[in-house]
Amino acid sequence: MNFPILSSLILLPTIGALFIFFVRSSNSQYQSSKYVALFITLANFFLSLYLWIIFDKSIVDFQFVEEREWISGFVNYKVGVDGISILFILLTTFITPICVITVNATIKNRLKDFLIAILILETFMIGVFCSLDLVVFYLFFEAGLIPMFLIIGIWGGERRVYSAFKFFLYTLLGSVLMLVAIISIYWITGTTDVIKLYELGIDAKYQNLLWLAFFSSFAVKTPMWPVHTWLPDAHVEAPTAGSVLLAAILLKMAGYGFIRFSLGLFPDASLYFVPLVYTLSLIAIIYTSLVALMQEDMKKLIAYSSVAHMGFVTLGIFTMTQQGIEGSIFQMISHGLVSAALFLCVGVVYDRLHTRLINRYGGLVSIMPKYAIVFMVFTLGALGLPGTSGFIGEFLVLMGAFKKNILVATIASLGVILGAAYMLWLYKRIIFGKLINEDVKKMVDLKRFEIVTLWLLVLPIIFFGFYPEPLINSIEVSVANMIDMNDLDKINKLALGE
């Protein structure tokens, strides 16, 4: 492996950002900086696609590993991918160009700065999914706060300052404990290299506290009930592209972290805390679904539905079964696509009417038929109709859960019904109903770039709904290895008293 393909993936967006930064700004060049950003992000997407193609799905080990001395004698810069992380990288590089396309309509001022923020953010996001060293992971994980804080704060809505602060301080507070845990791991085992840590294992007596420290960070980021309150605020105030990135990728960092670190490094503690995670996940699924039902703001509704969906993800991960974990990963990818699409859909109507209140809309089907079609696909994807990617994820998660605990699985299934309720009701109130509002009548149907972006998202949602094989194929070996390596099955059996 000579060509450092992962480092190029990480660095390319930053190089693009620097390029945009150094090009002198004038109004005419705003357009050109957009093309630069689009070019860079697309190049990154194809690079990661190429990575996925040459990635050997039958090998358990991490591939394309790069290692370089960084803080001498202490931390090495180490990146690599396995079947799980490569999907998240692909998701990141797929969603970012879509965000870049949408900036035209949504960002009115300081376009250049916005593009730079998005590109820098992409670097950090890819870095999170690649890093194979705890310190490097923490670095990327935290650094993402800076661009996101600015995206919400500069280009956000009315209460942007409040939301930006809440977002930043919540996540920072959550993750400082993780830093303590990471340094402690270094002093306990002598390394922060994830691969070595997998081999060494961590003494069971330390695991519980370390697990809690990691959990505090991931739970805020996921977000799990009761620390989810920053998410609706952040989503509502962020500009469309910001909401999309937040929902599609930033939330997935935590789910990824749960699999890679909580399960991978602290299997005993993970088992010990299963009841806690189950409880919080179930509360998230049921409670936030009910809250979502009552929302009058579209973005808030989708934000709460994200919390509920992430509840499925955490539930699936901590069933610690092959199906459960695969389902969770699938659910994350699917939710990344669907929630991104839903936020784009909200953005489309928001740009026209400048309100997100559901009751201001109604009867859009007669004036925006194209919009009605794509919105329907995404609604169905969100509620998990068979034939969309949402179904596969939820189904696998529930399968894993039924294997473990029937009560938990039954309650979680209720969440699916509630999900259908709030999504369909949302669709009904916006698309159907009487066309009363005069402003709504003046709205025009999708423009060309909107059609492109939205259909780009429709395709994978339906494709993976019918044919999930490529994704499952890619994660299967890695998940099986994760379960094997940590004897999660054995631990499970012991716990069940078999």
Q: How far is C-alpha 302 from the chain's CA centre?
A: 14
107-110: long-range contacts at Cβ-Cβ below 8 A with a sequence spacing of 24 or more? Answer: 107/155, 107/239, 107/241, 109/155, 110/154, 110/155
Question: According to DSSP H, which parts of 259-321 are helical?
Answer: 264-265, 267-272, 274-293, 298-317
Site for other proteins in 182-221 (CB under 8 A): 183-184, 186-187
Minimum separation from the CB atom of position 302 to other proteins (A): 25
Residue 149 sits in the site that holds other proteins (CB under 8 A): yes
Binder among 43, 105, 143, 376 for other proteins (CB under 8 A): 143
493: CB partners within 8 A, 6+ apart:
none
How crowded is residue 54: how many other Cβ atoms within 10 Å of its Cβ?
A: 9
441: CB partners within 8 A, 6+ apart:
367, 435
Nearer to other proteins, 37 or 411 (CB): 37
Site for other proteins in 117-136 (CB under 8 A): 135
Binder among 11, 146, 212, 385 for other proteins (CB under 8 A): 146
Minimum separation from the CB atom of position 138 to other proteins (A): 7
- Sole window of 178-186, 198-206, 220-228, 314-322 interacting with other proteins (rule: CB under 8 A): 178-186
Q: Which of 308, 277, 315, 311 is nearest to 291 (CA)?
A: 308
Contact string 216-255 vs other proteins (x = CB under 8 A):
----------------------------------------
Binder among 47, 179, 376, 435 for other proteins (CB under 8 A): 179
Alpha carbons 222 and 307: distance in angstroms, whole number: 8
Q: How many residues does the chain have?
A: 498
Q: Which of 464, 243, 486 is nearest to 350 (CA)?
A: 243
Minimum separation from the CB atom of position 253 to other proteins (A): 14
Alpha carbons 224 and 227: distance in angstroms, whole number: 6
Residue 70 sits in the site that holds other proteins (CB under 8 A): yes
Q: Which of 75, 69, 68 is nearest to 191 (CA)?
A: 75
Nearer to other proteins, 120 or 254 (CB): 120
Q: Are 223 and 310 in contact (CB under 8 A)?
A: yes
Binder among 11, 42, 47, 176 for other proteins (CB under 8 A): 176
Nearer to other proteins, 186 or 198 (CB): 186
Alpha carbons 267 and 198: distance in angstroms, whole number: 11
SS3 24: coil
Residue 38 sits in the site that holds other proteins (CB under 8 A): no
Contact string 454-493 vs other proteins (x = CB under 8 A):
----------------------------------------
Residue 11 sits in the site that holds other proteins (CB under 8 A): no
Binder among 59, 161, 204, 459 for other proteins (CB under 8 A): 161
Nearer to other proteins, 161 or 495 (CB): 161
Binding positions for other proteins, rule: CB under 8 A: 69-72, 74, 113, 135, 138-140, 142-143, 145-146, 149-150, 153-154, 160-161, 164-165, 168-169, 172-173, 176-177, 179-180, 183-184, 186-187
